[in-house]
Every structure is written in C-alpha cells, then in structure tokens.
Structure 1
C-alpha cells in the first residue's frame, strides 16, 4: 500500500477521470503512480506531457537497448512497480522478456549483445551514488551509438532514476502488469484492499 493513497475514480474530478480513462485504455489499468501523483494535478499534467514527449522523441536507439537500460535501473533501485510495468512494455514491444532473468549475469550471458552490455553497464554506473560513469565508458558508447544515441540513453536512464525513486519513496509497488492482473483492477485505490 502506498504511503499516500491514490485518488479513487469516485473522488476524481472530470479531468482526472479523463486521464484515468486514457491510461486504462492504453495500459489495461490505471497506473498507481498516476493515482498517487494526482494529488498535485499541475505536476501530474506536466509529468504526463513530459512522458509523452520523451516517448515520441526517443527514436535514435533501438528499443531493446533503451528498454534494457531502463529495466536495469528499475531493478537496481528496487522499484518493483517499474520492473513490473517495464516488463509489460518490453513484452508489448515484442522483446524477449525471458532473458531478463539473466540480467544480473549480463556481462557473460550469451542472452545479451555487446551493445546491450554497454547500455546495461552505463545504467549501473549512472544509478549509483555518487555516479560512477567514466570518460572511457562514454567514449565507447559514443563510438557505438553516436552523440544523439548517448544523449537519448542518458536521458532515459536519468528519467527512470526519477520514476523509480519517486515510486520507492512513496511505497508504490508492483501492480500486476506482468501477470495481467492489473487489468482486473481499473484504479488500485478503488479496490477493497487498497492500492497494493
């Protein structure tokens, strides 16, 4: 259960109901982070516009590179909601989610390409405190993905750090997107057991 309960549909104003309907259609359920952040509608709207703009702009890197790096951040920071949601997004993109079981062995696992290993290592280096990125690492990434690719990768990793830390701080946990259970609960806060 999150530390701040999400706003249930019955308590949502007209604009929030529209957002919930859009999210439900797009994802099969209303993401719990939306229901929680809805307590501050201006930031919710700003965040939604930002997420959509980033999604439209992120076309330089192959989806597998971007999504693996984002997934790794979620996994390393312990955001079970992000891992759950990210796994669903990868599955919907037609990516192999079975190999995510091997991500802790990415350096040696044949399930990952050299490009993917670079991206995952970069996600690791960006997600520790203090940040552990090296000049050599960025040079290697530039040679592989170009400047625009490195900027996109860096942005995506930084954004996932934001999401994962937001969700973890507020106690937002997995919602069942991977199992499909989320489709049974339109807005987590509407359920009898709360938002869990």
Structure 2
C-alpha cells in the first residue's frame, strides 16, 4: 500500500464500531476502510452511501449489485475490490459461474438480458462514454424503471470511486475469494 497502515485503535472512537463489525463479518478489518478512516468525515460519507446502496429495499437485487461491483473493479484493476466482490458475488449467486464468466460476459449464456444491459452500462460509465447510444438506452428502459436506472447509475459511480481510490493507493487483496 502507498499509505502506511496504522492500528485500528488509533482511529477516532466513532469509527471503531465499523472496524469491529468488519472484523466480525470478514474476520479482519478491511485495509480500504483503514485508509478511508484517515479522513473520518469522508469515511462516514462513504459508509453512509454504501449502506444506502446495499439496503434491502433496493430495486437492484443483491447478486446484480455484486456483479456490477465486480465488473467495475475488474475494469479499474482494483485487486482488493475484485477479491471482496468476487467472494460476495459467489455467495449471493450461489456459485462461481458468474464471477468466472464475467470478463467474457458478452459471449456467455450465464447472464440474463437485465444483467447484460447493466453490464454494458457499467462499461460505458467506466470509460466515460457519454451520451449513451439509443440501443443501450432502450435496453436499459426495457429492463429497469427510471428509479432503478438512477440507483444503477449511483451504484456504478460509487464503485468507480471506490475502485479507483483503492487502485491508486494499491490496496492489496485480503484473501476473500479463493
């Protein structure tokens, strides 16, 4: 990592419950969280946005959210994000078939039309290719309502931010996907 680690107990007291929860959930504190935690207000904003996007009432099902997060991580060469999102996708999808086929999603029969539309959109957003073409716009509206498209856009944008942050600071994988 480009930034030296500091022990979790040297962080602000109100961030420590987040780290405790990560240790409980993942068996370790996430190195990415320790970096975000160096700026406590930014950490809280990122944590709040992540929680809003991962809520139970999201119009995007959990496996789709993980699929998109993993694809954005792959495109941004984020080792940490690929690691944790592969494990999360495999858990949510019930198998490794989606994570293993994701880099060649256009040629794979594993993905639904809804997933393909979302993956195409994620790739365009990662490359910054705007405006969208008519075909992709039509495909998105055929699979998602307007509220879901807004949420889809927010999820992809958040993952772009997160994966570029982690890539720039060379956050390593932590062994979640094996």
Using the size of structure 1 for normalisation, the TM-score is: 0.81
- 8 A contact 1:126–1:133 mirrored in 2: no
Superposition CA RMSD, Å: 2.0
Q: Which residue pairs with 2:133 in the alignment?
A: 134
What secondary structure does 2:106 align onto? coil
Q: Which runs of 5+ in 2 are unaligned?
A: none
More displaced stretch, 3-12 vs 156-165: 3-12
Q: Counterparts in 2 of 1:148-187, with a 5 A limit?
A: 148-179=147-178
State whether structure 2 residue 92 is matched by structure 1 residue 93. yes
Alignment deviations for residues 95-137 of structure 1 (CA, whole Å, 9 cap, x no partner):
4323322222211211222222211111111101444632331
**How far does residue 169 in structure 1 lie from its aligned partner after superposition?**
1.0
In structure 1, runs of 5+ residues without a counterpart are 180-196
Following superposition, the deviation at residue 94 of structure 1 comes to 4.1
Q: How many residues align?
A: 178
Q: Distance in 2 between the 1:63 and 1:18 partners?
A: 24
* CA offset digits 1:152-172 (Å, max 9, x no partner): 211111110000111011111
Mapped to 1, the partners of 2:44 and 2:29 lie a distance apart of 15
In the superposition, the TM-score normalised over structure 2's length comes to: 0.88
Report the alpha carbon displacement of residue 57 of structure 1 after superposing the two structures with TM: 6.6
Matched, 1:111 2:107: no
Q: CA deviation at 1:48?
A: 1.4
Aligned-partner Cα distance in 1 for 2:62–2:37: 29
Given that 2:70 and 2:85 are in contact with CA atoms closer than 8 Å, whether structure 1 keeps it comes out as yes
Partner of 2:81: 82
CA distance in 1, matches of 2:60, 2:17: 32
Hey, what does 1:38 align to over in structure 2?
37
